[in-house]
DNA sequence: AAATATTTGTCCGTATGTATT
DNA sequence: TAATACATACGGACAAATATT
């Protein structure tokens, strides 16, 4: 059995060898194979292990250095840049900033865009509105310690929450924006979690490398009377975040 | 701005254009952009939309036909082979088979492998055992309607659950295997959800294409007295499953 | 302090795969 | 189908920085 077959490297998949190797190394780091602040084996050893030329391994390392995952020092070696994943809690009372309070110094939300539109079927169903009812679509992004964490698309009943986009922009907080519209408290009604490759827009907004993965949380928030107030789809950078389900 | 930049196609990413386009089309299908059993736009239209040559689009379509996602009919068009995602519930009382009862005809669990080993730190911590305490590692796989859904690695206290692997093999069910060890009921204590690219072993076991994504659920089950009985890491094929968080 | 080994960085060239025209 | 351009992958040689003896 050849080394290539053994390591799962394949050349007819449309994915370059250096990228497959970069993905394996990134995964190995996540699995803790190189220890805390660990050192990678020399390029020659990695090349032998993966059954490729040293230059190909160098391509993989260069990509991971660019991503900020590795740091290469001439004459010394290649080292893991240690950054731990943020743990984002999903519970009945889910709020962005509070959940990450102990894990990051700075937490910020940005309003990227907003627009009026007619509700798509899934939006109308989630908000309990008629099809094509007027809704407000709001695009936001969140950062922790200067690193993009998530990007969300939210829909609100336009009749009830006119001007909420401006309130989010001013306060940088959905919770505070709700207050201005008479919602003192709210709850998470449902959350559906899936995962996929990031699309071009999210890649740019979250500053991710091509082929990166996003965790997708589709959620409905309700007020204290159980009326739906927000339908949202949030994309989290999967290499920076994990979701902690509270039960 | 060129069409290439507009659609996020790039040539230095290590991912061939035809594969990037295949991924986008697959994602578009998941997002429902082509309707139920829908028809794709003609190749020339897709080529224009993605800013590439028609040959490149044909490569992408050929790959998706090979995957079973699309079906091309000469003279008629290219159509979506529709299969919807299974929704796997995560709740305090999470059980594999029951959760998928209404969504699949056949649900089966397989025991792939099992072994005695010394507990790694995270396993020992989760099960409330001393470091390097003897534990049982069990590798399982689950299928629904003949399609692999998930692959799990579970650890049990070897002192309390000696022989549980054989019980799982016989009954095909963890719940029933627990009964034989005096555990009448159990609960999900915690679940951490993340996502990553599938490694070589999971690719093969779940019959996934290279570069495929897995949803990873790391969970602890406890008995009625709150004692941890199982620590597990389950990898779900992300294109076949979503996780529904019950609250 | 000096010589040697190790490791990353850069340059050359060649062959093959990918994408466009 | 063919011609062309660029990206990928390989192989070798050497330079530069660091570590070891």
Point out the domain boundary residue: A24, A51, A80.
A80
User: Which of residues 162-221 of A have CB within 7 Å of strand D?
Assistant: none
**In a shared domain, residues B72 and B34:** yes
Cα separation of B113 and A6, whole Å? 20
**φ, ψ (nearest 5 deg) of residue B32:** 80, 25
Instruction: Write out the two tokens for B88.
Output: 């796997």
Summarize the confidence of residues B223-242 as an average pLDDT.
92
Check if the beta carbon of residue A16 is closer than 8 Å to that of residue B15: yes
**In a shared domain, residues A93 and A144:** yes
Residue A74: which nucleotide is closest by CA–C1'? C8
Tens digits of residue pLDDT in A214-225: 999 999 999 988
Residue B129 DSSP symbol: -
Strand C atom within 7 Å of B60 CB: no
Point out the domain boundary residue: B49, B80, B111.
B80
Q: Domain residues for B90?
A: 86-245
CB atoms within 10 A of CB B119: 22
Tens digits of residue pLDDT in A164-207: 999 999 988 888 899 999 998 898 888 999 998 888 789 889 98
Closest by CA position to B140, among listed B171, B117, B182: B171
What's the CATH code of the domain at B10? 1.10.10.10
Give, in order, the Cα–Cα distances in Å from B183 to each of B140, B197, B230.
Answer: 20, 35, 12
**In a shared domain, residues A129 and A197:** yes
What's the CATH code of the domain at A197? 3.40.1410.10
| pLDDT at residue B247, as a whole number | 62
| pLDDT at residue A6, as a whole number | 33
Q: Assign 3-class secondary structure to B146-177.
A: CEEEEEEEEEEECCCCCCHHHHHHHHCCHHHH
Chain B positions in Cβ-Cβ contact with residue A192 (cut-off 8 Å): 87, 242-245
| pLDDT at residue A11, as a whole number | 52
Measured between CA atoms, how close is A13 to chain B, in angstroms? 7
**In a shared domain, residues A106 and A125:** yes
Residue A40: which nucleotide is closest by CA–C1'? C7
Strand C atom within 7 Å of B16 CB: yes
End-to-end CA distance of chain B: 46
**In a shared domain, residues A194 and A241:** yes
Q: How far is the CA of B11 from the C1' of D8 (A)?
A: 11
Would you call A153 an interface residue with chain B, using a CB distance cutoff of 8 Å?
Answer: no
Residue nearest to nucleotide C8 (CA to C1'): A74
Kindly write down the DSSP assignment for every residue of A125-160, as one continuous string: HHHT--TT-EEEEEEEEEEETTEEEEEEEEEEETTT
**In a shared domain, residues A118 and A152:** yes
Strand D atom within 7 Å of A59 CB: yes
**In a shared domain, residues B67 and B92:** no
DSSP H helix total and E strand total for chain B: 9, 10
Cα separation of B201 and B148, whole Å? 13
**In a shared domain, residues B122 and B213:** yes
Percent of chain A with pLDDT over 70: 92
**In a shared domain, residues A7 and A58:** yes
- Least confidently predicted of A8-22, B86-100, B101-115, B204-218: A8-22
Count how many residues are written for chain B: 247
Tens digits of residue pLDDT in B122-178: 899 899 998 889 999 999 999 988 889 999 999 999 999 999 999 999 988 888 899
Query: Dmax of chain A from CA atoms?
Result: 67
**In a shared domain, residues A97 and A139:** yes
In a 10 Å sphere around its CB, with 0-12 CB exposed, 13-18 middle and 19+ buried, how is residue A79 labelled?
Answer: middle
Q: How many residue pairs bridge chain A and chain B with CB atoms within 8 Å of each other?
A: 140
**In a shared domain, residues A140 and A50:** no
Tens digits of residue pLDDT in B43-66: 888 888 888 888 888 888 887 776
User: Searching chain B, which residue's CA lies closest to the CA of residue A93?
Assistant: B247
pTM: 0.78
Q: Which residues pair with A161 in a beta bridge?
A: none
User: Per the CB < 8 Å rule, is A247 touching B195?
Assistant: no
Cα separation of B138 and B114, whole Å? 4
- Least confidently predicted of A9-18, B173-182, B196-205, B223-232: A9-18
Point out the domain boundary residue: A56, A80, A104.
A80
Cα separation of B207 and B237, whole Å? 9
Mutate to test the interface with B, among A86, A150, A238 (most CBs of B within 10 A): A238
Check if the beta carbon of residue A243 is closer than 8 Å to that of residue B194: yes
Residue nearest to nucleotide C21 (CA to C1'): B53
Check if the beta carbon of residue A15 is closer than 8 Å to that of residue B19: yes
Would you call A247 an interface residue with chain B, using a CB distance cutoff of 8 Å?
Answer: yes
Q: How many domains does chain A have?
A: 2
How does the average pLDDT of chain B come out, rounded?
Answer: 84
**In a shared domain, residues A49 and A156:** no
């Amino acid at each position: 059995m050849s080394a290539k077959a053994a390591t799962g490297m394949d050349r007819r998949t449309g994915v370059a060898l250096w990228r497959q190797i970069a993905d394996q190394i990134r995964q190995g780091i996540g699995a803790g194979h190189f220890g805390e602040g660990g050192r990678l084996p020399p390029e020659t050893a990695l090349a032998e292990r993966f059954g490729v030329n040293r230059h190909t391994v160098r391509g993989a390392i260069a990509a991971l250095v660019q991503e900020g995952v590795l740091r290469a020092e001439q004459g010394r070696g290649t080292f893991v840049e240690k950054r731990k994943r943020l743990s984002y809690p999903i519970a009945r009372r889910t709020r962005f900033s509070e959940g990450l309070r102990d894990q990051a110094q700075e937490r910020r939300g940005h309003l990227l865009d907003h627009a009026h539109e007619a509700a798509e079927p899934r939006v109308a169903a989630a908000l309990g509105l008629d099809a094509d009812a007027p809704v407000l679509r709001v695009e936001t992004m969140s950062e922790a310690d200067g690193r993009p964490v998530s990007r969300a698309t939210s829909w609100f009943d336009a009749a009830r929450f006119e001007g909420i986009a401006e309130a989010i922009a001013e306060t940088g907080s959905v919770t505070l924006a709700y207050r201005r519209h008479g919602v003192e408290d709210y709850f998470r009604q449902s959350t559906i979690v899936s995962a996929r490759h990031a699309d071009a827009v999210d890649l740019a907004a979250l500053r991710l490398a091509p082929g990166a993965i996003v965790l997708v949380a589709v959620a409905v928030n309700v007020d204290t009377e159980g009326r739906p107030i927000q339908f949202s789809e949030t994309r989290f950078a999967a290499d920076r975040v994990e979701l902690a389900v509270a039960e």
